Structure 1
């Protein structure tokens, strides 16, 4: 057998504990249906598309996104989900052996991407109020700093003041992951990507836009940054169908997306009330999910799977401990999850 490089041997496959369940609230995807414009594109697509490469670097989608954000197309990059953009950015700006720093807890794929790319990591715990420990993060002197707001898995948001201090003093690139921006109350940090030369803001069509199965992500940054990410990602990361669907939803279904996001937020807060009534204390959230600290969360999640409901369990998270992450969905699915949770807690 040909051996992999030593730093690659112990990398696990991404395989969170789950099984096929009637109710799956573990991935934070949009369970409110498919945008009509995306469904129309799928229905009208020509089979001839299947035998041809897509256009390189998704020019149609870049153009539409650029217009909406208020930048030129050269300031927008796309990828096979926003995690592809994140991975490409690490390859573009860090040599093997250099340091990636991020707050903890955060998106579970970041340590994995670091290991795949031969990087070292520095994880800096969030403060007790779930904001950034700015001085400790900057003290890592990492050439790339990764921030996530609303943060996955906690749902909490980072303060404007803390993020701006990091951006002003960072020695290199600051990546701000806004996969859940459409559910947040505030405006987010896209203006920093427009105005600062060292900021890359990533977003996705996998959550509010309901296109998780099509794998469409994007980012905005200074054209010089974006050009390097584009080189790292390669030309054909978006299929013709995925690009067409994303463009159609942006152009024709903005109201549909906003309405579904609002419904997810409403059901998230309704779920919070039910969990508090059970004696639980969910964290503040501006995502389409709640994180619920709960000792023995993995055992509870396994019992819930036996009852045909899948949620995500985390163990020993910094500042949180064991916890369940429960996605927001149409209320009948939330009722099924609550029924399973009550049974699992007995």
Structure 2
């Protein structure tokens, strides 16, 4: 039976979080002399002399309307990477605990684990890029605190079988972290709707991909109120700056435009796949639910270097497990995709 208190680090249980000036006062006032800010303003057209809302309530309120999740179930981080790091720092004891990774997958899980001195146990996906449930079950022990599942997966692009993730959620007494950075491009529904069903579920999403806000660094975690309270306790007090909050709020009013972009991108993805299949050095293109495709080739390194010489940058994933000979290609604008195809046709 999952119990959050059983996996929470003892020092985090007893942690008294930093109390900022904006934590101690809620509401509006005419004179703010509590936070040692520069009362004269900012040397900018927009005023940034005041500290931002530490809990980003207005952004969470708008996200709540879009996602159908109460604000209290939302954590905002400086990119999803901050949420990943906070999960390690909250639930994993350095040098003692371990986490399960399922390569090929997003590389930041392992980097963050290494930074926090947490052992990683890798259970490679099947040749079909699905979970090896038996292997995961064998890798779990009493010190396994987190399992990271990226779906749609990076770099393979496919969605992970929903039933397999539900099996982990129902049987694992730690946290199952489902990273849905690319969910906007997928036919698979988000696991956000399952938060009330599984107390050990954490869903990661981002404004960097479909929303086109990679430069703002705003990531999201959705989980039980109890888990979100822990993450808010561990995070820095002002982890999302005022400019990012205001710009994110503006962007979140334009959901119709984003949906149009998603449809156009998916159409471009399908068109690019069809055209790439005609190239003699393309061996396979794996099914994708993301804004990129994984392309198996006869010479990934040579093709990569050839594209670099022509000013086109893709990602060489040929050294990643199960991705031998493969390039990961992000779907660009119609003009960018056409330039890519025309350049590849010159490759000998």
Q: CA deviation at 1:295?
A: 4.2
In structure 2, the residue corresponding to 1:321 is in which secondary structure?
A: coil
Structure with greater helix percent: 1
In structure 1, the residue corresponding to 2:277 is in which secondary structure?
A: helix
Q: CA deviation at 1:77?
A: 0.2
Q: How does 1:197-208 map to 2 (within 5 A)?
A: 197-208=199-210
C-alpha distance 171-275 of structure 1, shift in aligned 2 (>3 A):
same
**Counterpart-to-counterpart distance in 1, 2:225 and 2:139:** 27
Q: CA deviation at 1:80?
A: 0.9
Q: Please tell me whether residue 51 in structure 1 is matched to residue 54 in structure 2.
A: no
Q: Is the 8 A contact 1:71 1:194 kept in 2?
A: no
Q: Which residue in 2 is equivalent to 1:249? A: 251
Q: Which residue in 2 is equivalent to 1:35? A: none
Q: Which residue in 2 is equivalent to 1:267? A: 268
Q: Is the 8 A contact 1:174 1:200 kept in 2?
A: yes
**Counterpart-to-counterpart distance in 2, 1:58 and 1:198:** 24
**Counterpart-to-counterpart distance in 1, 2:234 and 2:301:** 37
Q: Which residue in 2 is equivalent to 1:65? A: 63
For residues 67-106 of structure 1, what are the alpha-carbon distances to aligned partners after superposition, in whole Å with 9 as ceiling and x for unaligned?
A: 3333322211001111211111121111112111111100
In structure 2, the residue corresponding to 1:122 is in which secondary structure?
A: strand
Q: How does 1:1-346 map to 2 (within 5 A)?
A: 47-97=45-95, 98-141=97-140, 142-250=144-252, 252-279=253-280, 280=282, 281-344=284-347, 346=348
Q: Is the 8 A contact 1:298 1:314 kept in 2?
A: no
Task: Give RMSD over aligned pairs.
Answer: 1.5
Q: CA deviation at 1:335?
A: 1.1
**Counterpart-to-counterpart distance in 2, 1:72 and 1:332:** 40
Q: Of the two, which has the highest radius of gyration?
A: 2
Q: Is the 8 A contact 2:157 2:293 kept in 1?
A: yes
Q: Is the 8 A contact 1:295 1:321 kept in 2?
A: no
**Counterpart-to-counterpart distance in 2, 1:235 and 1:64:** 21
Aligned residue pair count:
299
**Counterpart-to-counterpart distance in 2, 1:150 and 1:233:** 27
Which of structures 1 and 2 has the larger relative contact order (alpha carbons within 8 angstroms, sep 6+)? 1
Give the alignment's TM-score, normalised by structure 2: 0.82
For residues 236-294 of structure 1, what are the alpha-carbon distances to aligned partners after superposition, in whole Å with 9 as ceiling and x for unaligned?
A: 121112112222222x2111011101111111111100111114211100000001122
**Counterpart-to-counterpart distance in 1, 2:332 and 2:215:** 17
C-alpha distance 295-228 of structure 1, shift in aligned 2 (>3 A):
farther
Q: Which runs of 5+ in 2 are unaligned?
A: 1-43
Q: Which runs of 5+ in 1 are unaligned?
A: 1-45
In structure 1, the residue corresponding to 2:48 is in which secondary structure?
A: helix
Q: Is the 8 A contact 1:81 1:216 kept in 2?
A: yes
